[in-house]
Structure 1
Amino acid sequence: GITILAPQSSPNTDGTDFANCSFVHVHGNHIANGDDEVAIEAGSHDILVERNYFATGHGASIGSIGENNSSGHVWNVMFRDNVFNGTSNAARIKTWQGGTGSVQNITYRNLTFIDVGLPVLLTQYYCPHSQHPGDCKNYTAAVEISDVTLEGLRGTQTGGDAGQLLCSDSIPCRGVTLADIDIAASSTGGRNEWRCWQAHGSAERVSPPLGDCLSA
């Protein structure tokens, strides 16, 4: 594998980006940076990311997809057996309101979190101030997210949430599966919960419990 290093404070220092790529294998790397360790962007499919060590950056991301009302598709992506140490996120899917297209058949399996800010983030409301100063517009159009599996995730979080599943009112996320997840707050007695909106799927053996966070 290779080693990619950049200061945590350095903007736009993605480790590896893939756009319009297929049948890619990313494995055995050490990436510590100030942005996405791995970003799978529009037009990409059939990608395996495994046995990597990620530190300080923004995690293993799908997207962003749909910026400026654009259309994009990503499908058949697997992240497995990766370690995230001190990253802001780990498993992250990010799409913009107003975009179209789809993110489908995405799997995050057997991931280890060491003091990750927000380990799981699935959002159809991506709109960071760094890319879009000012207010973010509301749209009914959205990139469809479906068939996302989160399985065998373990470790600690520092931000108060184990995960956030934030989906569109008009085009909710469907087929979201969570299984065998154990995420704890890194500080004793710290907040540790899930936040969801319009996310549909199933869950089993998940800690902290989802409660009614995930709709059938």
Structure 2
Amino acid sequence: MNSVIQTGDDCIAINTLCSNINITGVTCGPGHGISVGSLGMNGEVAKVEGIYVQNCTFTGSTNGARIKTWQGGAGYARHIIFDDITLINTDNPIIIDQYYCPNCVNQASNNLNFAVQISDVSYSRIRGTSATPTAISLMCSQTQGCTDIRLMHIKITSAHSSEPTSSKCINAHGKYTDSIPKVDCLLP
């Protein structure tokens, strides 16, 4: 609670067997954001649930609200809430990356039958600026997908005033309401 974290890696990393975590009033940056994960490395069975991140600020960070899993993992990450978040020149403000694999070949074409199941994730009242055009990236497993993803009251504009922001998705399912940018893969 009520901390300033400046680091060359995740400001906070939430790994397997973590539950009922409350993160409030944290200012992150520079750094890699507040990350659930990475989960599922080397086929690990992940179990993460009950994560509540609120009233936090990301300043010049590589990521903002991030969930990252390795391909081929198992288990779940669920009941996760990111609420009341301020972004200042953040590279990847909202990101789910189920293809996390630094310094290795993407295994998406290998037709892996396993993935950490991501479900019941809420992003609400997130506003500020993105340093990159893609403000929302929901890259979910091609085999499992992400379910019950909810975005509400999102306003992420470009840190470069003349450029619009956008979203991109793979196999993400859920709803969005009052979101800039729009998230066309989710239901309005």
Shorter-chain-normalised TM-score: which range?
A: over 0.9
Q: TM-score, normalised by structure 1?
A: 0.83
What corresponds to 1:86 in structure 2? Answer: 60
Unaligned stretches of 5+ residues in structure 1: 1-26
RCO higher in 1 or 2 (8 Å CA, sep ≥ 6)?
2
What corresponds to 2:106 in structure 1? Answer: 136
Matches within 5 A, 1:64-103: 64-103=38-77
Matches within 5 A, 1:91-130: 91-129=65-103
What corresponds to 2:144 in structure 1? Answer: 171
Deviation digits for residues 24-82 of structure 1 (CA, Å, limit 9, x no counterpart)? xxx01110111000000000000000001111100000000000111111000000000
Q: Equivalent pairs: percent with the same residue? A: 35
Q: Which residue identity is paired with 2:106? A: C
Q: Which residue identity is paired with 2:145? A: P
Q: Give the number of equivalent residue pairs.
A: 185
What corresponds to 1:208 in structure 2? Answer: 181
1:180–1:215 Cα change, 3 Å = closer
1:82 is paired with a residue of what secondary structure?
strand
What corresponds to 2:26 in structure 1? Answer: 52
> 1:215 Cα deviation (Å)?
5.4
The list of structure 1 runs, each at least 4 consecutive aligned residues, that deviate by more than 6 angstroms after superposition, is none
1:168 is paired with a residue of what secondary structure?
coil
Structure-1 separation of matches of 2:186 and 2:42 = 29
Residue 31 (structure 1) aligned with residue 5 (structure 2): yes
What corresponds to 2:155 in structure 1? Answer: 182
2:42 is paired with a residue of what secondary structure?
helix
1:68 is paired with a residue of what secondary structure?
helix
What corresponds to 1:160 in structure 2? Answer: 133
> 1:89 Cα deviation (Å)?
0.5
Structure-1 separation of matches of 2:101 and 2:18 = 22
The question of whether the paired residues in 2 share the 8 Å contact of 1:51 and 1:82 is answered with: yes
> 1:201 Cα deviation (Å)?
0.3
Structure-1 separation of matches of 2:41 and 2:69 = 7
The question of whether the paired residues in 1 share the 8 Å contact of 2:21 and 2:50 is answered with: yes
Q: Which residue identity is paired with 1:64? A: S
Q: TM-score, normalised by structure 2?
A: 0.95
